[in-house]
């Protein structure tokens, strides 16, 4: 369904924002990938969009474009006026749990941080023990260090591509780096760059790569005891 509204919030750093429309129950999330306007998104810009609902995460705008017609601009201004007259809670002064999820939980502690950092310590200890007992060659440490540097660079490149609307790095490539041993750098990149933290499917596969990598490492180190 085509709706008219205006951009009431735009985060250029994270490349997402929210559209307010009189025809929607709440502010509608949109990403720069879904923006088709001739000018960059900005707060107050009147737009036309298609609203969808995916996976119970709240409304999302697709095919967002500037409201070229006078009627579209008038409807957008009318939408802003109606929203402004609503009670304070409707102004979203405090982010709701659903809004935090759409924003990659930018204002909440990193989910699973304790588990991730604990696994990093165990992983480092296993590597050190493997090299000490000569179950792993010494060059393994250098190779993993280089792999994690590459992983950080790949995440940074993908984040910059998302901001600029350029061609993205396939998620399968990022998962392969994690599976090979770049998962610690991938975790740090996700949290520090706020990249891929709000995509549940990506996070699930990412944690699977950690389980597979660590499981393979343990099997290799203790294979003679099995």
pLDDT per residue over 83-137, tens digit each?
Answer: 445 555 555 555 555 544 444 444 344 457 888 888 999 999 999 999 999 999 9
> What pLDDT, on the 0 to 100 scale, is given for residue 219?
92
Domain-embedded: residue 108: no
Q: Verify that 49 and 73 share a domain, yes or no.
A: yes
Q: Verify that 117 and 96 share a domain, yes or no.
A: no
Q: Write the CATH number for 69.
A: 2.40.50.140
> What pLDDT, on the 0 to 100 scale, is given for residue 167?
86
| Domain membership of residue 124 as a residue range | 113-225
Q: Say how many domains are in the chain.
A: 2
> What pLDDT, on the 0 to 100 scale, is given for residue 62?
79
Q: Are 52 and 60 in contact (CB under 8 A)?
A: yes
Q: Verify that 119 and 56 share a domain, yes or no.
A: no
> What pLDDT, on the 0 to 100 scale, is given for residue 126?
93
Q: Verify that 85 and 162 share a domain, yes or no.
A: no
> What pLDDT, on the 0 to 100 scale, is given for residue 150?
95
Low-confidence ranges of the chain (pLDDT < 50): 69-76, 79-80, 83-84, 99-110
Q: Verify that 122 and 86 share a domain, yes or no.
A: no
> What pLDDT, on the 0 to 100 scale, is given for residue 94?
52
Q: Verify that 37 and 98 share a domain, yes or no.
A: yes
- The predicted model scores a pTM of 0.50
């Amino acid at each position: 369904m085509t709706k008219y509204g205006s951009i009431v919030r735009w985060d250029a750093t994270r490349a997402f924002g929210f559209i307010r429309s009189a025809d929607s129950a709440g502010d509608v999330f949109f990403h720069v990938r879904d923006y088709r306007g001739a000018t960059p998104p900005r707060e107050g810009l009147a737009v036309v969009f298609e609203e969808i609902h995916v996976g119970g995460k709240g409304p999302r705008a697709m095919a967002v474009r500037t409201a070229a017609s006078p009627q579209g601009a008038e409807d957008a201004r009318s939408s802003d006026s109606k929203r402004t007259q609503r009670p304070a809670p409707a102004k979203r002064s405090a982010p709701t749990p659903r809004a935090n999820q759409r924003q990659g939980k930018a204002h909440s502690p990193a989910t699973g941080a304790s588990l991730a950092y604990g696994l990093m310590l165990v992983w480092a200890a296993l590597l050190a023990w493997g090299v000490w007992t000569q179950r792993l060659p010494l060059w393994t440490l250098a190779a993993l260090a280089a792999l994690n540097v590459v992983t950080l660079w790949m995440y940074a490149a993908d984040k910059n591509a998302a901001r600029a609307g350029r061609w993205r790095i396939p998620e399968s490539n990022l998962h392969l780096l994690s599976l090979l041993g770049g998962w610690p750098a991938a975790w740090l990149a996700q949290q520090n760059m706020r990249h891929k933290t709000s995509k549940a499917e990506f996070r699930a596969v990412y944690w699977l790569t950690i389980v597979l990598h660590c499981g393979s490492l343990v099997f290799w180190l203790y294979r003679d005891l099995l």
